[in-house]
Structure formats: structure tokens, C-alpha cells
Amino acid sequence: MKPTSSTDICIIGAGMVGLSVAHQILERYDNLSIVIVDKEMDVGKHGSGRNSGVLHAGLYYEPKSLKAKVCVPGAKRLKQWCFDNNISVMECGKVITPQKPELDSQLEVLLDRGRSNGATVEIIDEQQFNELVPDGRTSTGRAIWSENTCIVKPIKVVQKLKKELQKKGVNFLFFEKDWQVEVELKTIIFSNNPKLTYDHLINCAGLQADKVAQKFNVGSFYTMLPFKGSYWQFRSGSPFKFTTNLYPVPDLEVPFLGVHVTPSIDGVTYLGPTAIPAMGRENYTGMKGANPLLTLNFIRHMATQVVKDKKMRNYVVNQAFDWTPNNFLKSIKLIVPKVKMTHIERSSKVGIRPQLYDLKKKELVQDFVMLDGPDSTHVVNAISPAFTASFELADYILDNSNYFN
């Protein structure tokens, strides 16, 4: 890199959202130069490369929310892009089952939400359920079938996007862990002193998006709470074979979908993920990446939530302790009753969900959040279904950014 370089657009974060924003900019403006900056050595090293690969069909999201607006069209666009680029797509659908009888009424809620959001969904009976998931269980003889849910291999998607962008002239600056910004000069100063000037900066930094935003004096009332998603998987030779996704009815008041069953392009069937408080933004294994101060703040914020909010108390009771093998097995047995500990093993697959927390309202933020800053746009809550909706979300970001309008 030259001592001082310049670009029209600087994107912070080489995950799915950052790559998709670059992709959509070039779809509209082929004369703009773009530099993507990331602290890792390649694309998709965090949430974008560590998720389950499910392209969601749009059932869960509150109608009129941004998630609801972009999920269904975004899934269609990404699916077609994968077909066009010879990336395997498993068109397997998804079944959502009431794991307890008292959750049966939520099927109608999900059905109404899905249809309001443009998803293709229907209620199925026990016979249809057993044909789709013979090893599964519905507590009431009913379930929801979402035929358009499908699965991809996330790392294949982001790697292909990277190659496509490089061919179109996008420059990547990897392993840039420490940088400062001179906001008024629209200049990033890297740790080894080279400078990059930009016309507009777009923050798609995922786990670190709140920290990046605060360099621009934006979003000071937000912080990120990391939730670890650990997976198990069926052992080779287990008697269970799933050809479709099997999900429990979720608690729609919290942003987690519960432990579920997900087949994969590679033939492994995953169980999970959990949604447990992590000790650091990148605390994937053991104490690596643990941050004591963040952990203390996390405990404080969660304690506030649990005291004031019944839905978070429900989360603590039903999901927060799924990291223990016994609790995890209990959760999965609600939807796969014959599974035993001898049938499953821990997977190396682990992700961190960067969940935004509103310090003013003292609550988790459910929807995507985009903030304007000085010559900058900040995407600070790109959680699921951001991967699914990435192209549509990218268009929304551009449509609502002052720079492009």
C-alpha cells in the first residue's frame, strides 16, 4: 500500500454484508473505486463463515420490520446468485414443530407472519410431518412446513463473492487490526502509518461494528453482547437421517430460534446452535478471546434484563444453560425424542452472534440497525437473517445512505 492512497468507498468488514454492499455498489456505479478493510487474513472469518448456511424463508420476523422487508426477496436473490455461480444449494425446506402442547397456538402466529412477509408456508398434519421428518416429534400432531427454506455452504459463498469483486477491481486490505480515523479529513491511518482517504465509509464490521461506529461518535448508547452458538452433530453411523431442517417453535420475544436440526451440503447433520453468553466477542473456544471486563458488563446487562423482562427470564430458563451436555440433550430430545448421547458428538463448528444491546432502553435490539455518521454509514446489528438477505439488505443500505441519494 502506498503511504497515502484514496478510494471513493471504504467498507470496513469483509463478511457477507460488507461484500454484498460492494457487489451492489458496482451493480449501480461501475465507476466508483472500493477498498474493503478487514482485521483478519481472509473473508468470512466470523459470523459469515460460521453460520448454519440456512437461507431463511421469512417466517419469524415482525411484519413491517426491516428483517421482514428484506428476508424473502433477499433469499430469492441469493439463491439465484448461487445457481448462477455454480454454488450448491440444498433445497430441503424446513419443518417447525411445537415441542410442547402449549406452543401449538404459536403455529398460527408464525403462519400469519410468514404469509404477511411473503413466505410460502402451510400447516401440516401428523402424517405429513412423519413423511418429512420420521425421526422428529410434534407434540400436537401439527407443524409448519416452509418449502422455500434451503441451505448453502457459507464459506463457498463469501469466497466466490470475493473473487468476483477482485475481478471488478475491488481492493482488499487484510490483517489491518489497528487503525484510527481522522473523521474531518476522511482519512484512515493504519498501524504501520499508511493512510487511506475516502469519500464515504460503510461500517459492516459485525462483531466490532459498535466499536467502529463509536470512532465516528455514532451509536454511543449501543454495545454488543456476544452469544456463543455451539453445535453438536450426529455421529457417523447414527440411525438418524434428516433431509430437511427441523426447528422448534421459537420464543418470538427473544432473537434466538432454539436448538434445531440442520442437514448440510457436506452430509453432516448439525444440532444447535446454542445461544449462551460468551466471555468475549471472539471467545470461540475455552478462554481464548475471553475478555473479563466485557464478561462483567454482560452479566450486569443480562441481570438488568432478567429482572425487568419476563421474556429474558424465559430465555434463561429455556436456553441459557444448553451448553451443558445434559441440558443440550434435553432440548434436542423435545424434537428428536429417540436421540441418545451415544448418537451425537460435539462439532468443531462454533459461531458468535453479535447481539446489539440498547443501553438507554436496557434491552436487546431485535431488528437491523443502520446509523448515519459523518461521511459514513454504520450497520450495527446485522444479525440473522443478514446472510440470507444480504443483497436486499445491501440495496436498502445504499437507498438510505445520504451519499448515494
What pLDDT is stored for residue 257 in this prediction? 82
Q: Which residues contact 176 (CB under 8 A, 6 or more apart)?
A: 37, 38, 39, 190, 191
Task: Tell whether the model's pLDDT for residue 86 goes beyond 60.
Answer: yes
Q: ∠89-94-96 over CA atoms, to 5°?
A: 160
Residue 398 is inside which H or E element, if any?
Answer: helix 390-399
What is the biggest distance separating any 2 CA atoms in the chain, rounded to whole angstroms? 68
Residue 388 is assigned to a structural domain of this protein:
yes
- What value does the mean pLDDT take over residues 351-361? 89
Amino acid letter, residue 291:
N
| H-helix segments, 272-362 | 292-308, 310-318, 325-333
Residue 236 is assigned to a structural domain of this protein:
no
Specify the residue for cell string 407434540: 139
pTM comes to 0.93
Q: Which residues contact 402 (CB under 8 A, 6 or more apart)?
A: 372
What pLDDT is stored for residue 239 in this prediction? 95
Burial class (CB in 10 A: 0-12, 13-18, 19+), 225: buried
Q: Which residues contact 115 (CB under 8 A, 6 or more apart)?
A: 121
Q: Give first-to-last CA distance, the chain, whole Å.
A: 31
3-state secondary structure string, 148-210? CCEECCHHHHHHHHHHHHHHCCCEEECCCCCEEEEHHHCEEEECCCCEEEEEEEEECCHHHHH
Residue 135 is assigned to a structural domain of this protein:
no
Per residue in 109-143, pLDDT (tens digit) is: 999 999 999 999 999 999 999 999 999 999 999 99
What pLDDT is stored for residue 372 in this prediction? 96
Q: Which residues contact 317 (CB under 8 A, 6 or more apart)?
A: none
Calpha distance 297→347 (Å, rounded): 29
What does the mean pLDDT of the chain come to?
91
Residue 198 is assigned to a structural domain of this protein:
yes
What pLDDT is stored for residue 323 in this prediction? 73
Per residue in 171-205, pLDDT (tens digit) is: 999 998 889 999 999 999 998 879 999 999 999 99
Look up the CATH number of the domain holding residue 36: 3.50.50.60
What pLDDT is stored for residue 311 in this prediction? 59
- 268, three cell numbers: 453432516
- What value does the mean pLDDT take over residues 215-239? 92
Residue 317 is assigned to a structural domain of this protein:
no
What pLDDT is stored for residue 251 in this prediction? 80
Per residue in 205-223, pLDDT (tens digit) is: 999 999 999 999 999 999 9
What pLDDT is stored for residue 320 in this prediction? 58
What pLDDT is stored for residue 276 in this prediction? 80
Range of the domain at 176: 1-53+153-221+366-405
Residue 73 is assigned to a structural domain of this protein:
no
Residue 377 is assigned to a structural domain of this protein:
yes
How do strand 195-203 and strand 4-12 relate by DSSP bridges? parallel
- 390, three cell numbers: 444480504
Task: Tell whether the model's pLDDT for residue 229 goes beyond 90.
Answer: no
Residue 263 is assigned to a structural domain of this protein:
no
Residue 393 is inside which H or E element, if any?
Answer: helix 390-399
What pLDDT is stored for residue 226 in this prediction? 85
Per residue in 274-330, pLDDT (tens digit) is: 878 888 888 888 778 777 777 777 677 766 765 566 655 555 555 556 778 888 999
The string of DSSP letters for 19-76 reads: HHHHHHHHHH-TT--EEEE-SSSSS--SHHHHS--EE--S-SSPTTSHHHHHHHHHHH
Calpha distance 13→18 (Å, rounded): 6
Number of domains, the chain? 1
Q: Place 225 in a pLDDT band, splitting at 50, 70 and 90.
A: confident
What pLDDT is stored for residue 284 in this prediction? 85
What pLDDT is stored for residue 79 in this prediction? 98
